[in-house]
Amino acid sequence: MRHAVTLLLLPLLAACATPQERCISQVTRDLRVVDELIQEGELNLARGYAIEEVTDYRTEWVQCGPPIVRYRPDGKRVVYPARHCFDQVPYTVRQPKAIDLASQARTLEQLKRKRAELARAAGPAVQQCRATYPETK
């Protein structure tokens, strides 16, 4: 869920960023994703279990049509209330999930190796962004 909110806000932030910042953000995107996965994996290992988000649905009485406005022949305005109906509304719950701690530790080590590889590759790309889009003060 947190990732979804971040992704939704990204276009708003990108609109305010300089060309250099947008370039750097683009070339380090994978690095940021791996950093988030490492952080999540470390938290899971520390807790001993994962937290998963599950979307479920509940039935709610909702407004499914607007109020209706009619005029009588004598010109008086009559407002009929909005129509209501039952609808399935989604909601998200966070619940614990059992994990294989040994497998999680192996995955975490692989992610850390991948992070080092991505950081090495991002260095020259960031320098290229700085050279292509120099900041003026």
* pLDDT per position as a tens digit, 19-73: 999 999 999 999 999 999 999 999 999 999 999 999 999 999 998 888 999 999 9
Residue with tokens 């909601």: 91
Q: Is the pLDDT of residue 98 over 60?
A: yes
What is residue 17's predicted lDDT score, i.e. its pLDDT?
85
What is residue 135's predicted lDDT score, i.e. its pLDDT?
83
Q: Does this model's pTM top 0.95?
A: no
Average pLDDT, whole number, for the chain?
90
Q: Report which of 87, 97, 93, 34 is spatially closest to residue 62, judged by C-alpha positions.
A: 87
What is residue 47's predicted lDDT score, i.e. its pLDDT?
96
Residues facing 87 on adjacent strands: 60
Q: Is the pLDDT of residue 119 over 80?
A: yes
User: Which percentage of the chain shows pLDDT scores above 90?
Assistant: 73
For residue 112, what are the CA distances in angstroms to 24, 37, 67, 105? 21, 10, 57, 11
